């Protein structure tokens, strides 16, 4: 008998369904929508996937603010394609969550009623064009580092959505890097714009990996269920390891005076993250929490008559 993937089962007999679920997880196989699954597994997935979907949708806002002002037509096209991808990724994820028995309408309501979370990184604002670079390089970079292991998540529809998302996102980080590279090779003013933006986004991007492992209550169960494959700190450390040489190519300074390779640990030493700021933003006191929700709600409400019209037309045609 394999040790149970559902940690609440430790120390008791399991039913045949529970045993089958366990075996599938142990074999690194996939759980599919109609399979039996523990309620807590279903709830965790719905929470995680819908949060992820909401993050994609809310995450369109800080970048779409610059579509109208993009400084060249090529950059305008790239930015539209990227923000459009985010809408697409939100849709893939809502579809995956929907296979667990929740409708997109319910998820949207949860978001608009403030009952569902989204990644707090999108509550920061984008005062300069360089932020389009930093979001691509740092925020999408962190997101990709988080997401790539999710392509192997034990829930089939989630893993499949993530494969598609990861493939499409391969251009997001590169275009961000190239925006910063252009700026760093440009005028004095452009270089300053790039460095200040990196200073703004570096720490929030590192916070995207979540609290330190010893303060991350849900992580252990998620790892046992193979929804999550690496711990928050492991992923954060790996990400910083990728950033350091990239920052050298760019010629930007990462805003951490204590960032240094530790030969003995085979890892980077870094300053303590300011988790107070993280908790402030999560608690709704970030720079743009209210604005993000207002704009999402407005779009939803302004679109209601259009959605109703199309549904009414379809009913008439079917009649």
Partner 1 sequence: MMSTPGETGTEAWPLWEVFVRANRGLSHVHVGSLHAPDADMAVRNARDLYTRRNEGVSIWVVPADAITTSDPDAKGAFFESPAGKNYRHAVYYTKSEGVKHL
Partner 2 sequence: MSDEHDIDPHGEVSVDRIRLADEYAGESARHGAVASTDVAEYAMRLGDDALVLAQHLGDWISRAPELEEDVALGNIALDLIGHARSLLHYAGTDTGRSEDDLAYFRDEPDFRNAWLFEQPNGDFAHTIARGLVASVYLVELYAALTESTDLTLAAIAAKSAKEVDYHRDHAIQWTVRLAGGTEESRRRMIVGIGDTWPYVEELFRDDELVERLAAQGVAVLPSSLRAGFDAMIADVFAEAKLELPTGRHAYIAAGGGRQGKHTEHLGPLLAEMQVLARAHPGASW
List contacts with partner 2 (CB under 8 A).
57, 60-61, 64, 67-77, 80-81, 83-84, 87-88, 90-91, 94, 129, 144-145, 148-149, 151-152, 159-160, 163-164, 166-167, 169-171, 179, 182-183, 185-187, 189-190, 229, 238, 242, 295, 298-299, 302-313, 316
Q: Is residue 260 close enough to count as binding partner 1 by CB under 8 A?
A: no
Cα(230)–Cα(308) distance, integer angstroms: 44
Residue 208, judged by CB atoms within 10 A of its CB (0-12, 13-18, 19+), counts as buried
Q: Which does 198 bind (CB under 5 to 8 A by kind): partner 2, partner 1, none?
A: none
Q: Is residue 92 close enough to count as binding partner 1 by CB under 8 A?
A: yes
Give phi and psi for 269, each to the nearest 5: -85, 140
CB of 179 to partner 2, least distance (A): 8
Residues in the chain: 319
Cα(172)–Cα(168) distance, integer angstroms: 8
138 and 198 in contact (C-beta within 8 Å)?
A: yes
CB of 5 to partner 1, least distance (A): 19
Q: Is residue 109 close enough to count as binding partner 1 by CB under 8 A?
A: no
Cα(60)–Cα(83) distance, integer angstroms: 5
Neighbouring-strand partners of residue 308 = none
Q: Is residue 301 close enough to count as binding partner 1 by CB under 8 A?
A: no
CB of 212 to partner 1, least distance (A): 35
89 and 165 in contact (C-beta within 8 Å)?
A: yes
Closest CB to partner 2 among residues 26, 163: 163
Q: Is residue 168 close enough to count as binding partner 1 by CB under 8 A?
A: yes
CB of 47 to partner 2, least distance (A): 20
Closest CB to partner 1 among residues 99, 128: 99
Q: Which does 280 bind (CB under 5 to 8 A by kind): partner 1, partner 2, none?
A: none
Residue among 245, 266, 317, 319 that touches partner 1 (CB under 8 A)? 317
Residue 59, judged by CB atoms within 10 A of its CB (0-12, 13-18, 19+), counts as buried
Could you tell me the sign of the dihedral formed by the alpha carbons of 231, 236, 241, 242, in that order?
Answer: positive
Q: Which does 43 bind (CB under 5 to 8 A by kind): partner 2, partner 1, none?
A: none
Q: Is residue 34 close enough to count as binding partner 1 by CB under 8 A?
A: yes
Tell me which residue has tokens 């929508």: 33
Helix (H) or strand (E) run with residue 195 in it: helix 188-207
Could you tell me the sign of the dihedral formed by the alpha carbons of 265, 271, 275, 278, in that order?
Answer: negative
Residue among 2, 3, 29, 33 that touches partner 1 (CB under 8 A)? 33
Cα(159)–Cα(45) distance, integer angstroms: 11
Q: Is residue 40 close enough to count as binding partner 1 by CB under 8 A?
A: no
Neighbours of 3 (CB within 10 A): 10
> Could you tell me the CA-to-CA distances from 55 to 34, 49, 87, 89 in Å, in that order?
27, 10, 10, 10
Judged by CB under 8 A, how many residues of this single chain contact partner 1? 30
Q: Which does 299 bind (CB under 5 to 8 A by kind): partner 2, partner 1, none?
A: partner 2
Q: Which residues bind partner 1 (CB under 8 A)?
A: 32-36, 84-85, 88, 91-92, 95, 98-101, 103-105, 160-161, 164, 168, 307-308, 310-311, 313-314, 317-318
């Amino acid at each position: 008998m394999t040790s149970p993937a559902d940690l609440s089962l430790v120390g008791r007999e399991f039913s045949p369904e529970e045993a089958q679920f366990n075996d599938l997880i142990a074999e690194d196989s996939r759980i599919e929508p109609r399979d039996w699954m523990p309620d807590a597994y279903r709830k965790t997935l719905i929470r995680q996937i819908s949060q992820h979907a909401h993050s994609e949708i809310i995450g369109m806002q800080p970048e779409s603010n610059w579509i109208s002002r993009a400084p060249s037509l090529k950059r305008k096209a790239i930015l539209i394609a990227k923000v459009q991808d985010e809408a697409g990724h939100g849709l893939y994820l809502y579809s995956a969550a929907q296979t667990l028995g929740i409708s997109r309408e319910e998820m949207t309501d949860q978001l608009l009623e403030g009952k569902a979370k989204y990644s707090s990184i999108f509550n920061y604002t984008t005062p300069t064009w360089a932020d389009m670079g930093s979001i691509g390089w740092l925020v999408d970079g962190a997101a990709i580092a988080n997401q790539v292991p999710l392509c192997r998540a034990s829930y089939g529809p989630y893993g499949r959505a993530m494969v598609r998302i990861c493939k499409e996102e391969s251009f997001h980080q590169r275009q961000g890097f190239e925006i910063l590279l252009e700026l760093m090779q440009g005028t004095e003013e452009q270089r300053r714009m790039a460095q200040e933006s990196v200073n703004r986004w570096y720490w929030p991007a590192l916070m995207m990996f979540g609290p330190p492992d010893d303060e991350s209550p849900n992580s252990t169960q998620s790892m046992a269920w193979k929804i999550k494959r690496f711990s928050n700190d492991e992923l954060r450390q790996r990400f910083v390891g990728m950033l350091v040489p990239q920052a050298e190519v760019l010629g930007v300074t990462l805003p951490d005076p204590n960032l240094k390779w530790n030969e003995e640990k085979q890892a980077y030493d870094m300053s303590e993250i300011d988790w107070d700021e993280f908790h402030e933003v999560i608690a709704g006191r970030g720079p743009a929490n209210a604005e993000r929700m207002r704009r999402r709600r407005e779009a939803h409400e302004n679109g209601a008559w259009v959605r109703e019209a199309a549904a009414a037309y379809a009913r008439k045609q079917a009649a």
